[in-house]
Structure 1
Amino acid sequence: MKDYQGYLIDLDGTMYRGNEVIDEAPAFIQELNKRNIDYLFLTNNSSKTQAQVSEKLNQLGIESNQDNVFTTSMATAKYIKQHYPNGRCYCIGEVGLFDAIEREGLTVIDDSDCDVVVMGIDRNISYEKLAKASLAVRNGAAFISTNSDNALPTERGLMPGNGALTSVVSVSTGVEPQFIGKPETIIVEQALEVLGTTQKNTILVGDNYNTDIKAGINSGIDTLMVFTGVTPFEAYESLPVKPTYFIRDLSEWFK
């Protein structure tokens, strides 16, 4: 095993499931700190702000500050700022998405007469919200979604993710969105810039083959797969492209 200068670490299914900590996670982060290895928590969950994610981690006994949290909402807002700096955004999502959009100085409107439709997880989704988004996309608005996760690991089990919600607008309009989160390279490229490491000396840690591991593969960085979340251990043999490393849980990594 090579030494890595930076770790990109998934949250849901890797550090915790819903509001329950994964037992091996706190010690894993403590070991990174002990070895002075830089890391960034990289999450596809767009619902919380950077500060809220950090607070949750600390409450679960996982050492964190908001500077080592990078969310798909933050990556989405940066992408929109770069490509549609003056665009008026109609947003479906929760506080994490709205906070990130506003921090980038973008304009948010509650109207289908917009330039950009932005979708993130919304546990208060309604037909009217989906209708406005669909009308806007049909009228030519750019269609951007924070992530394509169809399922979200929670203490209750796998719940509908943002990809499932986004599919309603996509199926209705026939327009595929630009996804920003894992497995896309956009969020990984931004995260590497924030972390200050390179592809060669960074590893991505995650539980979901179709998002976390594929993000590493697509971005040309090494991957460490754990089986504490979405992808079961029994699926390993059938994975088309194997992760660089795999372990059942994080307690095995530094042994």
Structure 2
Amino acid sequence: MKYDGYLIDLDGTMYNGNTVIDGAIDFVDRLNKAHIPYVFLTNNATKTQEEAAKKLIDMGFDIHPETLYTSAMATAAYLEVEAPGASVHVIGSDGLKSTLEAVGCVITDDKPDFVVMGLDTALTYEKLALGARLISAGATFISTNPDRKFPSDEGFLPGNGSLVSVLASTTDVDPIVIGKPEGIILEAAVRALGLQKERVLLVGDNYDTDIRTGLDNGVDTLHVNTGVTSAEEVKEQARQPEYMINQLSEWSVE
């Protein structure tokens, strides 16, 4: 089936760590040549839109920053609608903080309305302890994404979901989750494409996030066996993606 637009994951689909996955650049080049619109839909909340785009461009991808939509951006959009000008304590990267500040959020450690947690590669016990105290004091807990792990050049590393579970367990508070597989981020990305869901294909490597996003929200999915979830693990699931391939070079966009 030919699709009019694509939602494409990054980690494990376009690259692993700092290594481009075979066939990924060619796949994007073929979309460009066919004038098929796409949005990179990533749960990675550590970078701003421009930083995420620069990584791809530096790797050799012919893309524009406007094609990037991150869970940090989706979190900012959610807060902009639900709580304009909210005070927020951030456990996460400078990129996440600046993305939230760009929509009017006030970053603070003093009685915030929200605690927003994204992947923090400099996470410490003190940061977790402060987050727990703020949530227990009444701050609404938000997780940018639920990924338990992500692929890197050195193998799988702990993802935000694994670290969020520490605060959830400590406070007995389950966070509001923004990123895939939740519909919040998907609906925003589909709007960016300007297409009907039935004409869009979601491409990703992680069954629990990428594929479930499509299955739960009415978008066809293509699982690529280059990242988190193996083909064998996918086949064990009760619900299957529409398509599964080993490499993106196997997929025709026309």
Match of 2:235 in 1: 237
Aligned residue for 1:59, secondary structure, equals helix
Work out whether residues 85 and 104 of structure 2, in 8 Å CA contact, stay in contact via their aligned partners in 1.
no
Q: Does 2:237 align with 1:248?
A: no
Between the aligned partners of 1:66 and 1:33, the Cα distance in structure 2 is 14
Work out whether residues 87 and 106 of structure 2, in 8 Å CA contact, stay in contact via their aligned partners in 1.
yes
Aligned length: 253
1:64-102: CA deviation from partner (whole Å, max 9, x where unpaired): 111000000000011011111132100011022112101
Between the aligned partners of 2:207 and 2:250, the Cα distance in structure 1 is 19
Match of 2:57 in 1: 58
TM-aligned CA deviation for residue 224 of structure 1: 0.6
Q: How many percent of aligned residue pairs carry the same amino acid?
A: 47
Aligned residue for 2:198, secondary structure, equals coil
Between the aligned partners of 2:140 and 2:91, the Cα distance in structure 1 is 14
Aligned with residue 223 of structure 2, among 207, 222, 225: 225
Match of 2:141 in 1: 143
Match of 2:94 in 1: 95
Alignment of 1:65-76 (within 5 A): 65-76=64-75
Q: Deviation above 3 Å: which 4+ runs of structure 1?
A: none
Match of 1:166 in 2: 164
Match of 1:200 in 2: 198
Between the aligned partners of 2:191 and 2:102, the Cα distance in structure 1 is 18
Instruction: Name the TM-score, length of structure 2 as normaliser.
Output: 0.97
Aligned with residue 115 of structure 1, among 110, 113, 124: 113
1:161-202: CA deviation from partner (whole Å, max 9, x where unpaired): 000111111000000001100111110011111221121111
Between the aligned partners of 2:94 and 2:137, the Cα distance in structure 1 is 26
TM-aligned CA deviation for residue 140 of structure 1: 1.3
* Long gaps (5+) in structure 1: none
* Long gaps (5+) in structure 2: none
Between the aligned partners of 2:102 and 2:216, the Cα distance in structure 1 is 29
Deviates more, 1:58-67 or 1:7-16: 58-67
Match of 2:83 in 1: 84
* Counterpart AA for 2:180: K
Instruction: Name the TM-score, length of structure 1 as normaliser.
Output: 0.97
Q: Does 2:32 align with 1:25?
A: no
Match of 2:46 in 1: 47
Work out whether residues 114 and 139 of structure 2, in 8 Å CA contact, stay in contact via their aligned partners in 1.
yes
Work out whether residues 207 and 234 of structure 2, in 8 Å CA contact, stay in contact via their aligned partners in 1.
no
Aligned with residue 210 of structure 2, among 185, 209, 212: 212
Between the aligned partners of 1:236 and 1:116, the Cα distance in structure 2 is 35
1:190-246: CA deviation from partner (whole Å, max 9, x where unpaired): 111122112111110000000000011111110011000001122232121000111
Between the aligned partners of 1:86 and 1:56, the Cα distance in structure 2 is 30
